[in-house]
Amino acid sequence: MRGLQLRLEGRILRRAFARRPDMRWPLPPELAATLTGARVTSFRRRAKYILMRLDSGWSVLIHLGMSGRMLVEPVGRNEITLHEHIELETDDGWRVGFVDPRRFGSVDLIETAREDQHKLLAGLGPEPLDDAFSVAVLDAALAGKKTPIKAALLDQKIVAGLGNIYVCEALYRAGISPVRHAHTVPGVRSKRLLPAIKQTLTEAIAAGGSSLRDYVQTNGELGYFQHAWKVYGREGEPCPTCQSDDSCDGVRRIVQSGRSTFYCARNQR
DNA sequence: CAAGAATCCTGTCAGC
DNA sequence: TGCTGACAGGATTCTT
């Protein structure tokens, strides 16, 4: 969002083009017409959604899905990148491309005044970095949940914005087993979990995110938080806390609700 | 109702 | 070299 904001905020969109409409959901047919000629007034992020406000009273709701990324580059001599489904051009010579090979990403329009009532935003839980996301709030959300804490933290209704990597990393930092029932976390464990979530996300954002496969920032640079991963993608490696301790088997990989979980069975209980 | 599985789609990589 | 299967930053929708 910040990368888009840098080049788009305050600019008029001179040209907008939707190359194919079949993303996660069909693009609104009026998308290109709504964007063309509009001035971009501000940006906002909610959970994993980007909201781009236009002076016409419309907001553009964007989700990058698994493989989506935004290219931001000067206009001219740029070939269309493969899987570049949406293209924008500003009045001061910048070009934005929404590239998304798997097309799990989505774009929709919503009146700015009704943003939070959009179907995709209405049920979301608290922002993890807000002060309103407290131990008490987390405990209340986990109460009575028999599902594994890993699945609960991926549930955007409980807390909005954590993905697979950061859930694994936050649970490791908090020393909590991913298979533990969510309702048994409130207490000493949630008091560790809450700061672990906030610290993990804060550090990852400062590092420009995690680059796995094809993710890049809008300036084309890789994020570098992947170098700070303690357990994610490290199956078989010694856990950084246990190191050479014989009673530690190192980082394990298991599958929970169809997603990989990485953890250390000795440190996380 | 809650929880887990299936689903959308393309690309990459390991193994044979 | 080429084929097959597993797996990948997500989250809705379907099934149990």
| CA of residue A146 to C1' of nucleotide B2, angstroms | 9
Question: Token pair 């190359």 is at which residue?
Answer: A19
Burial of A232 (0-12, 13-18, 19+ CB in 10 A): buried
| Same domain as A168, residue A105 | no
| Same domain as A75, residue A46 | yes
| CA of residue A114 to C1' of nucleotide C11, angstroms | 22
- Chain C: bases < 7 Å from a protein Cβ: 7-12
Q: Is the CB of A14 under 7 A from strand B?
A: no
Q: Is the CB of A226 under 7 A from strand B?
A: no
Q: Is residue A212 part of a domain?
A: yes
Domain limits for position A147? 135-263
Q: Is residue A82 part of a domain?
A: yes
| Same domain as A231, residue A157 | yes
Model pLDDT, residue A182: 97
CA-wise closest residue to A35 among A106, A107, A116, A118: A107
Do the Cβ atoms of A110 and A118 come closer than 8 Å? yes
C-alpha–C-alpha distance, residues A88 and A110, integer Å: 19
Do the Cβ atoms of A87 and A16 come closer than 8 Å? yes
pLDDT at A48 over 90: yes
Q: Which is more confidently placed, A208 or A111?
A: A111
CATH number of residue A29's parent domain: 3.20.190.10
pLDDT at A213 over 70: no
A window 104-163: Cβ near strand B (< 7 A) = 104, 145-148, 151
User: What's the average model confidence in pLDDT over A139-164?
Assistant: 96
Q: Please provide residue A107's backbone torsions phi and psi, each rounded to the nearest 5 degrees.
A: -140, 135
Model pLDDT, residue A79: 80
What mean pLDDT value characterizes chain A?
93
Number of domains in chain A: 2
pLDDT at A102 over 90: yes
Tokens of A8: 């788009």
| Same domain as A188, residue A99 | no
pLDDT at A54 over 90: yes
Which nucleotide across the nucleic acid strands is nearest to A213, CA versus C1'? C8
- Chain B: bases < 7 Å from a protein Cβ: 2-12
| CA of residue A121 to C1' of nucleotide C5, angstroms | 36
DSSP string, A232-260: TT-TTSPPTTTTT-TT---EEEEEETTEE
Model pLDDT, residue A257: 87
Most confident of A46-55, A73-82, A214-223: A46-55
Model pLDDT, residue A199: 97
| Same domain as A185, residue A95 | no
Interval A115-142: pLDDT, tens? 999 999 999 999 999 999 999 999 999 9
Cα–chain center distance at A158: 15
User: What's the average model confidence in pLDDT over A172-198?
Assistant: 97
Nearest-CA residue relative to C1' of C9: A66
Residues with CB under 7 A from strand C: A 24, 47-48, 63, 65-67, 102, 104, 120, 154, 156, 163-165, 210-215, 258-260
C-alpha–C-alpha distance, residues A6 and A218, integer Å: 10
Interval A216-240: pLDDT, tens? 677 877 788 888 999 999 999 998 8
User: What's the average model confidence in pLDDT over A56-81?
Assistant: 92
| Same domain as A200, residue A239 | yes
Which nucleotide across the nucleic acid strands is nearest to A223, CA versus C1'? C9
Q: Whole-prediction pTM value?
A: 0.96
Q: Which is more confidently placed, A207 or A190?
A: A190
Angle at A61 between CA A149 and CA A213, to 5 degrees: 60
Average the pLDDT over each of A69-78, A103-112, A185-194 and give the range with the smallest value. A69-78
| Same domain as A159, residue A63 | no
Q: Is residue A67 part of a domain?
A: yes
| CA of residue A234 to C1' of nucleotide C4, angstroms | 25
Question: Token pair 């420009």 is at which residue?
Answer: A208
pLDDT bin (cut points 50, 70, 90) of residue A61 is very high
A window 54-83: Cβ near strand B (< 7 A) = 67, 82-83
pLDDT bin (cut points 50, 70, 90) of residue A242 is confident
C-alpha–C-alpha distance, residues A195 and A200, integer Å: 8
| Same domain as A186, residue A227 | yes
| Same domain as A98, residue A161 | no
Return the SS3 of A7.
helix
| Same domain as A234, residue A142 | yes
| DSSP code, position A106 | E
